[in-house]
Amino acid sequence: MSRRILVTAALPYANGHIHLGHLVEYAQTDIWVRFQKLRGHDCRFFCADDTHGTSIMIRARQEGRREEDVIADMREAHLRDFAGFDIEFDNYGSTHSESNRELCAEFWAALRRADMIVARDVERLFDPEVGTFLADRFVRGTCPKCGTEGQYGDGCEKCLSNYAPTDLLNPRSTLSGATPELRTSTQLFVRIEDLHEFLGTWTQTSGALQPEIANYLQGHFLGEPLRDWDVSRPARYFGFEIPDSPGNYWYVWFDAPIGYVASTRDWCDRTGESLDGWWKNPDCEIHHFIGKDITYFHTLFWPAMLKTAGYQLPTKVHIHGFLTVDGEKMSKSRGTFIRGSTYLQHLDPAYLRYYFASKLGPRVDDLDLNLEDFRNKINSDLVGKVVNIASRCARLLAGRSLSAAYPEDGGLFREGAAASERIAAAYENCDYNQAMREIMLLADRANQYIDAQQPWTLRKDPARADDVQNICSVALNLFRQIAVYLAPVLPRLARQTGELLSAPIEHWDAAQQPLSGTPVNEFQHLLKRIEIEKVNAMLADSQDDLAKKEAPTAAAGAAVVGAEAAGGSGQDSGEWLEKEPLVADLCTIDDFTKVDLRVARVVEANHVQGADKLLQLTLSLGGDVRRNVFAGIKAAYAPEQLVGRLVVVVANLAPRKMKFGVSEGMVCAAGSGGRDVFLLAPDSGAQPGQRVH
């Protein structure tokens, strides 16, 4: 029976290019959709650019352009990248569309009717010079937790803590540089606690979520009252103004998931389909594919919105993990932060689609792109095994035809046909690695068959020409069977196989019946081996992309010292400046001297009972002056490494009461945190107590 299936992948944000991390999801989703279509189901794949929010505003401002121009360019780039990877949408919309605006209004009205919108006065920062409330990203100041300067109002990029912009120390408007004032603004919230019981049941029993996700929600959110969701942002904000609340705009996370519906609606308008037949039809399955980072929105808020507005809830939310490259987070300085477009300049998209497929399972696990494994796997599985079957036999039959009747093959084709439902079940469950294993088994058998029959020997005897044709007919049919099973992953290979054997692959059941009598065309290379040089070139290019992008920043900043540190090569990564941009506000020498930096000697360093990240340090500032300081450096330093060494301490930092005692200063360090922490040290000769000027 044919199923009606609506599929979405998360909307990529219009502020950045598609990279290999994104592609895990789009490949996973595209494979699933192609599989369903090949099975004959009425399956449609909808996506869109996510275009609203403060980041787009900031970017537009920096580039001196309108937001609309920024998102139009990025949309074009996204579509180009997707096409390059054979990601095929039925519609690709935009959250900045009339259809989305109308649907947002519809959802909003439903929430109003359900009395789920509450207004509350919130103290917010206001820029008196520009005359506007400041969105989180327009306020910068010192992180109240770790003291890092130049942090945005929503959270600290260094210590990753979240807070309200009103918590920032020394806040400054990035619009005018003015010190913001605290003013009251009326803010709108969605009260989803009303749906707590419903969400509890849905997340735990509907089967829509992977078990580990259901547990996560139960443990993190559902055990206590659900917090109201702040969905309005005061002007100026790039988004849609809330119809019944002038001056307020919907927060980007409100309109983004509605973009799934809007994209569907655009498609319906174009094709004459009924939107309700997809989104309000209990017989239509709805599948969302997302990454684990946006679990919260898709498993609590979004179902609450759908439920309230009378839409169908997702049948499944398929959640995947992150991509790592060679076991590490993608890193710009190592060249492993790879854009889709950079990859495509060097390598075939089929490689990546197959590699991801061979590693993806139904769980939330992270996926590692090990570049050596990548090359081995593609070269041995796809080139050595699969494509090789065609390559060894097609030439012997080029210009002729497959045997008029399918020859005796010892049951090989039948066995392959019998694997159909096993492989299909694996695809259906997103267990692609299982499917790939099954398929490679078939490829092994085909190669064994060819090897045993030795058509190249028989060919020397003209009397055995029919035998050669029969053997090659079997092998090419086995090859075609494999190409059918791989078609969701490798659509180009399926198409090429159709051309080679003069019979397009249009349905999964093509693997059930062997072809006979069709012309065999001249064999063309189907897939090249991966050369290591290509991979290396891609990595080098990825670093270059970054260097070009960072060049203006480096020129404007003080990059001289860094060049020395790099051993004179002069080429340091701009990664860190990108993560934590230079503070725009200038400070005077007087500002600087407010901070009393001193050289100190670590006289004692201890683990703190019950603390995972803290070490307790006793610092000597010379004489009898001692300071007790807690520092979050446990992952990077052992206490015994520290005793005796010199550090730089902020000596006049206000004491802070912590869970384990009072901290009377802060030791200076660089790095992103965790193991990546590098304490500052003076050159030898410095003495405890000396001030750092």
Partner RNA sequence: GGCGGGGUAGCUCAGUCGGUUAGAGCACCGGCUUCAUAAGCCGGUUGUCGGGGGUUCAAGUCCCCCCCCCGCUACCA
φ/ψ of 175, rounded to 5, equals -80, -45
Binding residue for RNA, selected from 77, 110, 554, 653, defined by CB under 7 A:
653
* Residue 492 contacts residue 86 (beta carbons within 8 Å): yes
Q: Considering the rule CB under 7 A, would residue 146 count as an interface residue with RNA?
A: yes
Structure tokens at 37: 């279509």
Report which secondary-structure segment, H or E, holds 625: none
Q: Between residues 49 and 348, which has the closer beta carbon with respect to RNA?
A: 348
- Interface positions, 321-360, toward RNA (CB under 7 A): 327, 359
Q: List the beta bridge partners of residue 7.
A: 45, 287
Q: Considering the rule CB under 7 A, would residue 373 count as an interface residue with RNA?
A: yes
User: Euclidean distance between the first and final Cα of the chain, in Å?
Assistant: 78
Structure tokens at 257: 């998931």
Which range touches RNA (CB under 7 A), out of 31-39, 175-183, 191-199, 660-668? 660-668
Q: In the complex, what is the shortest distance from the CB of residue 344 to RNA, in angstroms, rounded to a whole number?
A: 19
φ/ψ of 29, rounded to 5, equals -70, -45
Q: Between residues 659 and 693, which has the closer beta carbon with respect to RNA?
A: 659
Please name the residues in contact with 28: beta carbons below 8 A apart, sequence gap of 6 or more.
289, 318, 320, 356, 360, 430, 432
| x/- map, 500-539, RNA, by CB under 7 A | -------------------------xxxxx----------
Q: Between residues 169 and 405, which has the closer beta carbon with respect to RNA?
A: 169
Q: Considering the rule CB under 7 A, would residue 618 count as an interface residue with RNA?
A: no
Q: Max Cα separation, the chain?
A: 104
Q: Considering the rule CB under 7 A, would residue 395 count as an interface residue with RNA?
A: yes
Q: Is 646 helix (H, G, I), strand (E, B) or coil?
A: strand
Q: Between residues 118 and 658, which has the closer beta carbon with respect to RNA?
A: 658
Q: Considering the rule CB under 7 A, would residue 428 count as an interface residue with RNA?
A: no
Q: In the complex, what is the shortest distance from the CB of residue 168 to RNA, in angstroms, rounded to a whole number?
A: 10
Q: In the complex, what is the shortest distance from the CB of residue 157 to RNA, in angstroms, rounded to a whole number?
A: 11
In angstroms, the CA 647 to CA 302 distance is 49
235: which DSSP letter?
S
- 229, with CB counted inside 10 A (0-12, 13-18, 19+), is buried
Which range touches RNA (CB under 7 A), out of 198-206, 271-279, 453-461, 536-544? 453-461
Distances (CA, A) of 303 to 253, 306, 307, 391, 508: 13, 5, 6, 51, 33
- Interface positions, 242-271, toward RNA (CB under 7 A): none
Q: In the complex, what is the shortest distance from the CB of residue 241 to RNA, in angstroms, rounded to a whole number?
A: 30
Q: In the complex, what is the shortest distance from the CB of residue 555 to RNA, in angstroms, rounded to a whole number?
A: 31
Q: In the complex, what is the shortest distance from the CB of residue 228 to RNA, in angstroms, rounded to a whole number?
A: 17
Binding residue for RNA, selected from 224, 612, 640, 683, defined by CB under 7 A:
612
Q: Considering the rule CB under 7 A, would residue 492 count as an interface residue with RNA?
A: no
Q: Considering the rule CB under 7 A, would residue 220 count as an interface residue with RNA?
A: yes
Binding residue for RNA, selected from 170, 345, 448, 652, defined by CB under 7 A:
448
Binding residue for RNA, selected from 399, 590, 659, 685, defined by CB under 7 A:
659
DSSP-derived pairing of the beta strands 139-142 and 169-173: antiparallel
Binding residue for RNA, selected from 103, 226, 286, 396, defined by CB under 7 A:
396
Structure tokens at 95: 């959250």
Which range touches RNA (CB under 7 A), out of 59-67, 182-190, 361-369, 508-516? 361-369
- Interface positions, 149-208, toward RNA (CB under 7 A): 159-162, 169
Q: Between residues 216 and 289, which has the closer beta carbon with respect to RNA?
A: 216
Q: Considering the rule CB under 7 A, would residue 444 count as an interface residue with RNA?
A: yes
Q: Considering the rule CB under 7 A, would residue 292 count as an interface residue with RNA?
A: yes
Q: Which three-class secondary structure string do you get for 269-328?
A: HHHCCCCHHHHCCCCEEEEEEEEHHHHHHHHHHHHHHHHHHCCCCCCEEEEECCEEECCE
* Residue 97 contacts residue 258 (beta carbons within 8 Å): no
Q: Between residues 312 and 616, which has the closer beta carbon with respect to RNA?
A: 616
510: which DSSP letter?
G
Q: In the complex, what is the shortest distance from the CB of residue 238 to RNA, in angstroms, rounded to a whole number?
A: 26
Which range touches RNA (CB under 7 A), out of 200-208, 275-283, 388-396, 584-592? 388-396
Which range touches RNA (CB under 7 A), out of 45-53, 330-338, 588-596, 651-659? 651-659
Say what angle helices 67-84 and 54-63 make with each other, to 10 degrees: 110
Q: In the complex, what is the shortest distance from the CB of residue 147 to RNA, in angstroms, rounded to a whole number?
A: 4
Amino acid letter for position 340: G
Q: List the beta bridge partners of residue 183.
A: 124
In angstroms, the CA 345 to CA 526 distance is 18
Q: Considering the rule CB under 7 A, would residue 663 count as an interface residue with RNA?
A: yes
DSSP-derived pairing of the beta strands 323-325 and 367-369: parallel
Q: Considering the rule CB under 7 A, would residue 227 count as an interface residue with RNA?
A: no
Q: In the complex, what is the shortest distance from the CB of residue 637 to RNA, in angstroms, rounded to a whole number?
A: 11
Q: Considering the rule CB under 7 A, would residue 631 count as an interface residue with RNA?
A: yes
